[in-house]
């Protein structure tokens, strides 16, 4: 528990680190910082400089702590392996550093392709999660939480074994979409999302129906 508390503090501080990055870039940032972008990389949402530099890291930190404590107090937390808990601890800090660092760099005038960075990061994140899904035992926080997967351990295990490979494939497809032309990355992205979500849900439901019929 002592080590867990240290990791929670360290990862929360990493979520807040973009505050320091934004403060160092303060003079280079415009008064209105673009904080939302379309799929083509064009800014379509803005925030004030203080809200972007101080508010967004705080929001990321709150989300991080909510995810961590929801996992810690999951009634089936004992089913979660050490690796899954470590993944939960480090996922949001990585999101905070990559996403907010990219936002500040773009606002400060650095020549970066925010669409490519975002898609590659999301794709790699799904690859990592896909690697862990088959090892994920029944719980109420992480995984494909459907009534029939939560009610049947065999359904849960078989669904997550299938989903693990699909999430790795989908993640690689999303990462590849970052390097595709503008006419291709949207179809690739949505095809990957359908692959990762649609097939496991249908598969688990068919397993449920088959078992119910028996």
Task: Convert the pLDDT of each residue in 185-213 to its tens digit.
Answer: 788 888 899 889 999 999 999 999 998 87
pLDDT at 2 over 60: no
pTM: 0.83
* Mean pLDDT of all residues belonging to the chain: 89
Answer yes or no: is pLDDT of 173 > 80.
yes
User: Which residue, 29, 198, 11, 151, is CA-closest to 87?
Assistant: 11
d(CA 192, CA 122): 11
Structural domain spans, the chain: 1-104, 113-214
Closest CA to 97 of 6, 19, 152, 203: 19
H or E stretch including 36?
Answer: strand 32-37
Asked if residues 47 and 33 have their Cβ atoms less than 8 Å apart, the reply is yes
With beta carbons less than 8 A apart as the criterion, state whether 117 and 38 touch.
Answer: no
CB 101 within 8 A of CB 22: no
Question: What 3-state class would DSSP assign to 46?
Answer: strand
Model confidence pLDDT, tens digit, residues 25-51 = 899 999 999 988 877 778 888 999 999
């Amino acid at each position: 528990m002592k080590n867990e508390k240290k990791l929670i503090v360290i990862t929360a501080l990493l979520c807040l680190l973009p505050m320091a990055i934004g403060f160092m870039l303060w003079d280079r940032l415009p008064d209105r910082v673009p904080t939302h972008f379309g799929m083509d990389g064009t800014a379509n949402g803005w925030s004030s400089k203080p809200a972007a530099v101080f508010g967004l890291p705080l929001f990321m930190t709150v989300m991080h702590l909510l995810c961590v404590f929801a996992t810690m107090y999951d009634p089936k937390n004992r089913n979660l392996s050490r690796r899954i808990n470590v993944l939960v601890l480090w996922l949001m800090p990585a999101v905070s550093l990559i996403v907010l660092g990219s936002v500040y760099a773009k606002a400060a005038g650095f020549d970066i392709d925010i669409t490519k960075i975002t898609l590659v990061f999301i794709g790699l994140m799904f690859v990592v999660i896909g690697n862990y899904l088959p090892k994920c035992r029944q719980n109420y926080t992480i995984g494909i939480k459907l009534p029939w997967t939560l009610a049947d351990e065999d359904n849960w295990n078989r669904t997550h074994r299938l989903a693990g490979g699909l999430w790795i494939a989908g993640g690689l497809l999303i990462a590849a979409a970052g390097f595709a032309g503008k006419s291709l990355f949207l179809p690739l992205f949505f095809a990957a999302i359908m692959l990762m979500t649609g097939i496991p849900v249908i598969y688990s439901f068919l397993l449920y129906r088959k078992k119910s019929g028996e």
